[in-house]
Amino acid sequence: MQSITILGSTGSIGLSTLDVVARHPDRYQVYALTAHSKVDELAAQCVRFRPQVAVVGSAEGAARLTQLLRGQGVATEVGHGEQALCAVSAAPECTTVMAAIVGAAGLRPTLAAAVAGKKVLLANKEALVISGALFMDAIAASGATLLPIDSEHNAIFQCLPLDYRRAPQHHGIRKILLTASGGPFLNRDVSTLGDVTPEQAVAHPNWSMGRKISVDSATMMNKGLEVIEAHWLFGAPPEQIEVVIHPQSVIHSMVSYADGSVLAQLGNPDMRTPIAHALAYPERIDAGVDPIDLARIGQLDFRKPDVERFPCLRIAFEALHAGGSAAAVMNAANEVAVEAFLDRQVGFRRIPELIAQVLDRVPQAPVDGLDSLLAQDQRARRCARELLVA
C-alpha cells in the first residue's frame, strides 16, 4: 500500500488526488496533508482521511488547526512552515509525494522528496523551471521515481517508449508536441487585451484550476513553463519542442517519431486521469473520469501560437535558450506580475512587459546550488516589485 504526502491538498490538484485516493482505499493511505492558509478546508480533509501529520504555513494557523482537530477527536500531528513541509516529504513513513504547491514555494519540499528517493508525482512545474539540472541530478542520485502530473507531460510520458531515458536521439524521436488550449483569449481582439479583468482571465474554457495557473494559461506563460519542464523531464533540446494550439483540450500532447508516426494521448480534460495514471503506474485504475465521445466532439482543431497575442511563450523559449538562472528569474518575475494583476495593480498586458524588463535588469549568475538559484529568485522579485512602483 502506498502512503502518500499531498503537498497542497486544498488546491485543485490536491482535491483531485484525494478523490482518486478515496476510490481505492485498498491501495492508498494518506500520510500527510498540507495547505498554506486554508485551515478550515484542511481540517475537514483531516477528519475524513486521518493523516498522521498536517502542515500549514504559520504558527497561528497550526494552533487553529490543532484546536479544530482536537474538537473532532482527530489526533493528527500538526506542524507549520517550510521545514515541516520538507519533513513530511522525506519522512520514512511516506512512500509517495504529490508535489502540488504552486510556485517557487514548492521547490524545497519537492526537492526533499527527490533527495529522499520517494515516488515523486510532479505537479509543481516550477521545481524544474527553477532548478532543472539540480532537481534531475537529485532524482538520479537517490533513485527516486519521477512521474509527471501536468496533463501535457503525463501524455508525453505515456507516448514514449517504456525504456526511455531522456535521450530522444536514441529512440527515433523527432519532436515533442505540447498542446495548448489557448486559454480564454484565443480569439479575442489583441487590441482589447489591455482591458482584460482578473475575473475574465481566470475563466478557463476547459480546465478547472487555481487563479494563478489560470492567469498563466491566459498569457500562455503556463505553456512556456511547460516547455522548460519538458526540456528537463525528457532531455529534449528547445528546437525539438513545439507548441500547438488545440482549443478542445482532447489531445493532451503528442510525440513525433522519425518514421512519420505521431503518438497522442487523448482524454476528457480532467486532472484525475494523469493523477490516477501516476499513482498506479505501470497499472491502470479507475479515476472516476468518463471516456471521451469522439463522435460527439466531431472535430479537433490545431493552429500555431501567435507570439503577438502570447509574448510570454516567446520569453520562455528565450529563457530556455539562455540557460543558467534565466528561467528562475523569469518565473519569479511572472509570479510577482500575476499577483499584481490579480490584485488589480497592473493590467493584463503589463505581465509580459514586466517579465521582460526584469530579465533585462537582473544579470545572469552562476548556478552552483539551490541557494544561488533562490538568491536569483529573490533578486528578480525585488526588481519586479521596484518596477511596479516606479
Where along the chain do its domains lie? 2-148, 157-322
Q: What pLDDT does residue 290 have? A: 95
Residues 149-185 as b/e (b if ≥16 CB within 10 A, e otherwise) read: bbbbbbbbbbbbeeebeeebeeeebbbbbbbbbbbbb
Q: What pLDDT does residue 139 have? A: 96
Give the chain's mean pLDDT: 95
Which of 1.20.120.1200, 1.10.645.10, 3.40.50.2000, 3.40.50.720 would CATH assign to domain 2-148? 3.40.50.720
Distances (CA, A) of 321 to 54, 228, 231, 277, 318: 40, 10, 11, 32, 5
Answer yes or no: is pLDDT of 82 > 80: yes
d(CA 224, CA 217): 10
d(CA 28, CA 120): 15
Can you tell me the mean pLDDT for 257-285? 97
Q: What pLDDT does residue 383 have? A: 97
pTM of the model: 0.93
Can you tell me the mean pLDDT for 57-62? 97
Answer yes or no: is pLDDT of 102 > 90: no
Query: Under DSSP, is residue 251 helix (H, G, I), strand (E, B) or coil?
Result: strand
Answer yes or no: is pLDDT of 390 > 90: no
Q: What is the dihedral of CA 306, 308, 311, 313, to 10 degrees?
A: 10
Q: What pLDDT does residue 98 have? A: 98
Q: What pLDDT does residue 386 have? A: 97
Answer yes or no: is pLDDT of 262 > 90: yes
Residue 216 burial (CB < 10 Å; 0-12/13-18/19+)? buried
Q: What pLDDT does residue 81 have? A: 96
CB 60 within 8 Å of CB 67: no
d(CA 227, CA 293): 29
Q: What pLDDT does residue 4 have? A: 98
| Predicted confidence (pLDDT) per residue in 351-381, tens digit | 999 999 999 999 988 788 888 999 999 999 9
Q: What pLDDT does residue 210 have? A: 81
Q: What is the maximum alpha-carbon separation in the chain?
A: 63
Answer yes or no: is pLDDT of 36 > 80: yes
Q: What pLDDT does residue 155 have? A: 98
Can you tell me the mean pLDDT for 328-335? 96
DSSP for 2-59, written as a single string = EEEEEETTTSHHHHHHHHHHHH-TTTEEEEEEE-SS-HHHHHHHHHHH--SEEEESSH
Q: Place 125 in a pLDDT band, splitting at 50, 70 and 90.
A: confident
* Number of residues in the chain: 390
Q: What pLDDT does residue 126 have? A: 81
Q: Place 50 in a pLDDT band, splitting at 50, 70 and 90.
A: very high
Answer yes or no: is pLDDT of 86 > 80: yes
